[in-house]
Amino acid sequence: MSKMIRLSLLAVCVLLLMVGIAGAQEMEGEAFTLTSSAFEDGQRIPSKYTCSGMDVTPPLAWSGVPEGCVSLAIIMDDPDAPGGTWVHWVIWNIDPALGGLDEALDTEGIGAVLGKNSWSKAAYGGPCPPSGVHRYNFRIYALSDYPDVNPGASKSKLKRAIKDITLAEYTLMGTYSK
Protein backbone atom coordinates (compact mmCIF):
# COMPACT_ATOMS: atom_id res chain seq x y z
CA MET A 1 0.00 0.00 0.00
CA SER A 2 1.35 3.38 -0.88
CA LYS A 3 2.23 5.90 1.80
CA MET A 4 -0.48 8.29 0.52
CA ILE A 5 -3.23 5.64 0.85
CA ARG A 6 -2.10 4.72 4.39
CA LEU A 7 -2.15 8.38 5.44
CA SER A 8 -5.61 8.81 3.89
CA LEU A 9 -6.92 5.73 5.75
CA LEU A 10 -5.38 6.99 8.98
CA ALA A 11 -7.02 10.40 8.49
CA VAL A 12 -10.42 8.75 7.88
CA CYS A 13 -10.04 6.61 11.03
CA VAL A 14 -9.11 9.64 13.13
CA LEU A 15 -12.08 11.57 11.73
CA LEU A 16 -14.46 8.69 12.51
CA LEU A 17 -13.08 8.44 16.03
CA MET A 18 -13.55 12.18 16.58
CA VAL A 19 -17.13 12.04 15.29
CA GLY A 20 -17.85 9.10 17.60
CA ILE A 21 -16.43 10.89 20.64
CA ALA A 22 -18.35 14.09 19.84
CA GLY A 23 -21.56 12.08 19.39
CA ALA A 24 -21.06 10.29 22.72
CA GLN A 25 -20.49 13.60 24.51
CA GLU A 26 -23.62 15.04 22.92
CA MET A 27 -25.61 12.00 24.07
CA GLU A 28 -24.31 12.33 27.62
CA GLY A 29 -25.12 16.05 27.70
CA GLU A 30 -23.04 18.93 28.89
CA ALA A 31 -22.11 18.97 32.58
CA PHE A 32 -24.11 21.39 34.73
CA THR A 33 -21.79 24.26 35.70
CA LEU A 34 -21.77 27.78 37.11
CA THR A 35 -19.18 30.39 36.11
CA SER A 36 -18.55 34.10 36.56
CA SER A 37 -16.90 36.51 34.16
CA ALA A 38 -15.68 38.41 37.25
CA PHE A 39 -13.56 35.61 38.76
CA GLU A 40 -12.41 32.07 38.03
CA ASP A 41 -13.26 29.09 40.21
CA GLY A 42 -10.94 29.11 43.24
CA GLN A 43 -9.73 32.66 42.57
CA ARG A 44 -10.16 35.99 44.35
CA ILE A 45 -13.53 37.73 44.09
CA PRO A 46 -13.00 41.36 43.00
CA SER A 47 -13.61 43.95 45.73
CA LYS A 48 -16.46 45.46 43.71
CA TYR A 49 -18.68 42.52 44.81
CA THR A 50 -17.77 42.77 48.51
CA CYS A 51 -18.48 44.98 51.52
CA SER A 52 -15.22 46.80 50.67
CA GLY A 53 -16.64 47.81 47.29
CA MET A 54 -20.10 48.29 45.80
CA ASP A 55 -21.45 45.10 47.47
CA VAL A 56 -23.35 44.04 44.32
CA THR A 57 -23.92 40.57 42.92
CA PRO A 58 -21.27 39.31 40.51
CA PRO A 59 -22.33 38.24 37.03
CA LEU A 60 -23.06 34.51 36.91
CA ALA A 61 -23.68 32.15 34.01
CA TRP A 62 -24.78 28.52 33.92
CA SER A 63 -24.68 25.84 31.28
CA GLY A 64 -25.60 22.19 30.92
CA VAL A 65 -28.99 22.59 32.61
CA PRO A 66 -30.41 19.06 32.94
CA GLU A 67 -33.54 17.99 31.13
CA GLY A 68 -36.66 18.50 33.26
CA CYS A 69 -35.27 21.55 35.07
CA VAL A 70 -37.95 24.22 35.53
CA SER A 71 -36.26 26.42 38.12
CA LEU A 72 -32.87 27.21 39.65
CA ALA A 73 -31.80 28.19 43.15
CA ILE A 74 -28.50 29.70 44.30
CA ILE A 75 -27.09 29.77 47.81
CA MET A 76 -23.90 31.71 48.55
CA ASP A 77 -22.17 31.11 51.85
CA ASP A 78 -18.86 31.37 53.70
CA PRO A 79 -17.85 28.12 55.42
CA ASP A 80 -14.83 29.85 57.01
CA ALA A 81 -16.76 32.34 59.14
CA PRO A 82 -15.65 32.29 62.81
CA GLY A 83 -19.07 31.37 64.22
CA GLY A 84 -19.87 28.74 61.57
CA THR A 85 -21.13 29.02 58.00
CA TRP A 86 -22.33 32.54 57.18
CA VAL A 87 -25.06 32.82 54.54
CA HIS A 88 -24.64 35.72 52.12
CA TRP A 89 -27.35 35.09 49.54
CA VAL A 90 -30.39 32.84 49.07
CA ILE A 91 -32.34 33.11 45.81
CA TRP A 92 -34.73 30.78 43.98
CA ASN A 93 -37.35 30.54 41.23
CA ILE A 94 -34.73 31.60 38.70
CA ASP A 95 -35.69 30.82 35.11
CA PRO A 96 -33.05 28.44 33.67
CA ALA A 97 -33.62 29.92 30.20
CA LEU A 98 -31.97 33.17 31.35
CA GLY A 99 -28.58 31.48 31.07
CA GLY A 100 -27.19 33.72 33.79
CA LEU A 101 -27.64 36.64 36.14
CA ASP A 102 -26.37 40.15 35.51
CA GLU A 103 -24.02 42.05 37.76
CA ALA A 104 -25.94 44.10 40.35
CA LEU A 105 -28.98 41.88 39.80
CA ASP A 106 -32.50 43.28 40.09
CA THR A 107 -34.41 40.21 41.32
CA GLU A 108 -37.80 41.80 40.70
CA GLY A 109 -36.91 42.15 37.04
CA ILE A 110 -36.49 38.39 36.65
CA GLY A 111 -39.25 37.19 39.00
CA ALA A 112 -36.88 35.44 41.40
CA VAL A 113 -37.52 35.12 45.13
CA LEU A 114 -35.03 36.07 47.86
CA GLY A 115 -34.48 34.32 51.15
CA LYS A 116 -32.84 35.72 54.28
CA ASN A 117 -29.10 35.82 54.69
CA SER A 118 -27.24 35.71 58.01
CA TRP A 119 -27.79 39.48 58.42
CA SER A 120 -31.56 38.67 58.46
CA LYS A 121 -32.01 40.56 55.18
CA ALA A 122 -33.64 39.25 52.00
CA ALA A 123 -30.75 40.52 49.89
CA TYR A 124 -27.26 39.80 48.61
CA GLY A 125 -24.52 40.54 51.11
CA GLY A 126 -21.05 40.35 49.62
CA PRO A 127 -17.94 38.82 51.13
CA CYS A 128 -16.84 40.65 54.28
CA PRO A 129 -14.45 38.47 56.28
CA PRO A 130 -13.29 39.84 59.64
CA SER A 131 -9.77 38.50 59.00
CA GLY A 132 -7.85 36.12 56.77
CA VAL A 133 -8.80 34.57 53.47
CA HIS A 134 -12.30 33.09 53.32
CA ARG A 135 -13.91 30.81 50.72
CA TYR A 136 -17.27 31.77 49.25
CA ASN A 137 -19.39 29.04 47.71
CA PHE A 138 -21.93 29.93 45.04
CA ARG A 139 -23.96 26.71 44.89
CA ILE A 140 -26.52 26.39 42.09
CA TYR A 141 -29.32 23.84 42.13
CA ALA A 142 -31.27 22.65 39.07
CA LEU A 143 -34.81 21.88 40.22
CA SER A 144 -37.59 19.77 38.71
CA ASP A 145 -40.27 21.90 40.40
CA TYR A 146 -40.67 25.25 42.14
CA PRO A 147 -39.76 25.13 45.84
CA ASP A 148 -42.71 25.25 48.23
CA VAL A 149 -41.21 27.86 50.52
CA ASN A 150 -42.20 31.41 51.43
CA PRO A 151 -40.23 34.49 50.41
CA GLY A 152 -37.66 35.38 53.06
CA ALA A 153 -37.06 31.72 53.95
CA SER A 154 -33.70 30.74 55.40
CA LYS A 155 -31.06 28.64 53.66
CA SER A 156 -32.04 25.61 55.76
CA LYS A 157 -35.74 25.95 54.88
CA LEU A 158 -34.93 26.25 51.19
CA LYS A 159 -32.61 23.24 51.34
CA ARG A 160 -35.36 21.15 52.94
CA ALA A 161 -37.82 22.31 50.27
CA ILE A 162 -35.51 21.36 47.38
CA LYS A 163 -34.18 18.09 48.80
CA ASP A 164 -36.45 15.87 46.68
CA ILE A 165 -36.62 18.10 43.58
CA THR A 166 -32.90 18.67 42.97
CA LEU A 167 -31.76 17.26 39.62
CA ALA A 168 -28.16 18.53 39.78
CA GLU A 169 -25.98 20.98 41.67
CA TYR A 170 -22.65 22.68 41.13
CA THR A 171 -20.43 24.91 43.27
CA LEU A 172 -18.38 27.86 42.07
CA MET A 173 -15.93 28.92 44.77
CA GLY A 174 -14.24 32.28 45.10
CA THR A 175 -12.01 33.67 47.83
CA TYR A 176 -11.68 37.04 49.49
CA SER A 177 -9.72 38.81 52.22
CA LYS A 178 -9.75 42.48 53.20
What integer is the mean pLDDT of 139-167? 98
65 and 95 together in one domain:
yes
Total domains in the chain come to 2
pTM (predicted TM-score) = 0.84
Taking only the tens place, the pLDDT of each residue in 95-140 is 999 999 999 998 888 999 999 999 999 999 999 999 999 999 999 9
26 and 45 together in one domain:
no
10 and 22 together in one domain:
yes
pLDDT > 50? residue 22: no
Tell me what pLDDT residue 108 has: 83
Q: What is the mean pLDDT of the chain?
A: 89
131 and 60 together in one domain:
yes
Write the secondary structure of the chain as one string of H (helix), E (strand) and C (coil): CCHHHHHHHHHHHHHHHHHHHHHHHHHHCCCCEEECCCCCCCCECCHHHCCCCCCCCCCEEEECCCCCCCEEEEEEEECCCCCCCEEEEEEEEECHHHCEECCCCCHHHHCCEECCCCCCCCCCCCCCCCCCCEEEEEEEEEECCCCCCCCCCCHHHHHHHHCCCEEEEEEEEEEECC
43 and 114 together in one domain:
yes
38 and 10 together in one domain:
no
Q: Which domain holds residue 64?
A: 31-176
